[in-house]
Structure 1
Amino acid sequence: MTNENAPYAWEEIEAQVRKAVLCQLSILQTFGPWEPKMFYLFAGLDTEDLDEVADAIDLSRHSLHRIARHAYGYAYQTEAWHLATGEDYHEVCCGILSGGYPQADAEGEPSPLYRPNDQPLLRMFETFVARWKLSNPKYHAGLSVRELSLLSNMTVPAVRTSLSKEGFKLEANYRADAGKDENGVLPEHDALVWLSRRRGFVPTRSHAPTKPTDQSLGENMSTWLHTLPFVDALAKIMSATGNDPAPLADSLIVDQDWMAGLVSGRPVEIDVNVLRRLARYFGAEESLFVGRAVQALIRLEQQAETTDSAA
């Protein structure tokens, strides 16, 4: 699963997942029910000796291992990037990174999820959340300086210096639990612009442009957008690039109903960010694609309003 984009080998992450699982097992063994079967059910082994369990426990039985595998692929855009789901994001953001998984064992020995130690497992999960937020701007105010540092593979001070020099302004982060490196956020659009200039940033595959397979396809897309109604031009682009609405919506992480409406020529919400991502996905000229799409959607809105008024 590991590739050159990842700062940590999957084997290193998996070893830390094992430590985190053992911390939870230690707590259950010390403070949980006085029931031998509990240990067996958790560890999958007929022993109560933690030293024996450490290397023998089957991690594939544990949800933390599955979530970590999905998060690692998406965070570092390995060949398994597509396995991550919204449910994984929820479990990481609202559970694992919010104290839902033990940060120490029964004797207070820190787990790899203990925040002050800033271990690879914790940083990987935070990178996953940062990248997911970048792909879902509707549900988030922006990216914090720490999140930008994780995605760009830069230090927090270096990120702050770069943002200041390049004129990017952070907006207030009103989260009550925001840390010192999270008390300001950069809006998604600005974050994408800034990250695109960083050598260490690996574009998210749903954001990365899909280059035309040949020059004629790019020229055809331009011709279609210039000469055909947008819905017809989009139909030709979808056919030429071998895309269907539902899989395309999943790839770009957008609502399937919205994508189906756009493709079929129904009025949908004008979302410039998603339209820009769609243009980059096809490898179409962004300003032309987005401009024609917005014009078409405004006309559809006006037609719908006229119909409602007449009724």
Structure 2
Amino acid sequence: MSKNLVPYTWEQVEDDIRKAIWVAIEAIGIFTTNEAYSEMLGDENADEDTFDIKRHRIYSIVQRCYDYAYQLSGHELIEPEDWYEAEMLLNGGLPVYTHNQESPLMPSLDSPLRTVLETFFARYKMNVEGGGLNIKELSLLAGMTESVARASLSKEGFRLDGSELDAAEALRWLTKRRGFIPNRGDALDGQKKAIVEGLVYDQSMTFSEVISELSRRYCTDIFEFTQKMSDADREWVLAFFKGDKPDIRLDLLKTVAKELEAPEAMFVGRAVTHLLG
């Protein structure tokens, strides 16, 4: 997955984790002994810039949330408990202010740490919990502002049920957003078909745009299944996805539709019209 779509580097998130831990320990330390305070930091001589953040559970929790939120290597390591831990970090009333320092977990801040946790929460909610997404959650997954997301939903005729968009409809809308990072691995089960169908049936997109989007999202899949083809067939498929218009090959169009889990009749029909144009 291209990291160009990931809004923050892991180093930026680590900086926020360090600040969040420091503020929490400084606040909680008021209620503990000096020995207990030092033990929380791990080193009585440590300061804000030197204590070991990896010894704290929040580090591994946020790391898994980060990988899952943006479907990076390690996304499959997410644990069911992380859903509850993320919710607690976001809404659990943790210490967020001390000695004129604000924790990145403070709700009023649009920090990298909160963005990661909220994006994880939204993706997990859609993928695993099957819950609807509100405007903010949709905007996070789509990589756009809330106002732009709201305008897009209205323009395309998507209707919210109360304050949320049904999970299936949310996925259908997200498939058309260039900033949306598709699911990988097990999280993709049952969703690749929905994504591809949403693109192929979308008459607001030209078929050239559909091909381009399929190529962008599934370049690895396309490369893998073309390796099983003859040289001539492989060249035809790769040219097709590059945007060229080779001679019509119904057999190969059907193969492509099958491999990408696209609705065959619609895909082949639109492809033929495109190639004849």
Q: TM-score range by the shorter chain?
A: 0.5 to 0.7
CA distance in 1, matches of 2:7, 2:172: 22
Is the counterpart of residue 130 in structure 1 residue 109 in structure 2?
A: no
Task: Count residues in correspondence.
Answer: 205
Out of 78, 92, 113, the position equivalent to 1:121 is 113
Distance of 1:217 and 1:191 partners within structure 2: 35
Return the letter of the residue paired with 1:196.
Answer: T
Residue matched to 1:41: 39
* Unpaired runs of at least 5, structure 2: 193-217, 230-256, 266-277
3-state SS of the aligned residue for 1:214? helix
Shift of 1:69: 0.5
Deviation sequence 1:127-164 (CA, Å, 0-9, x none): 000010110244x2x00100011011111010110000
Is 1:109 the equivalent of 2:120?
A: no
Residue 269 (structure 2) aligns with: none
Matched, 1:161 2:151: yes
Q: Which runs of 5+ in 1 are unaligned?
A: 173-183, 219-279, 289-311
Q: Secondary structure at the match of 1:115?
A: coil
After TM superposition, what 4+ stretches of structure 1 lie above 6 angstroms from structure 2? 215-218
The Cα offsets for residues 217-254 of structure 1, whole Å up to 9 and x where unpaired, read as 89xxxxxxxxxxxxxxxxxxxxxxxxxxxxxxxxxxxx
Distance in 1, Cα, partners of 2:17 & 2:23 = 10
Matches within 5 A, 1:17-36: 17-30=17-30, 32-33=31-32, 35-36=33-34
Q: Are 1:195 and 2:174 an aligned pair?
A: yes
Give how far 1:101 is off.
Answer: 2.7
Distance 1:38 1:109 in 2: 22
User: CA RMSD, aligned part only?
Assistant: 2.7
Q: Which residue does the alignment assign to 2:199?
A: none
Q: Which residue of 2 aligns with 1:14?
A: 14
Alignment of 1:1-311 (within 5 A): 3-30=3-30, 32-33=31-32, 35-47=33-45, 52-93=46-87, 95-105=88-98, 107=99, 109-138=101-130, 140=131, 142-172=132-162, 184-205=163-184, 206-207=187-188, 209=192, 211=221, 213-214=224-225, 283-284=260-261
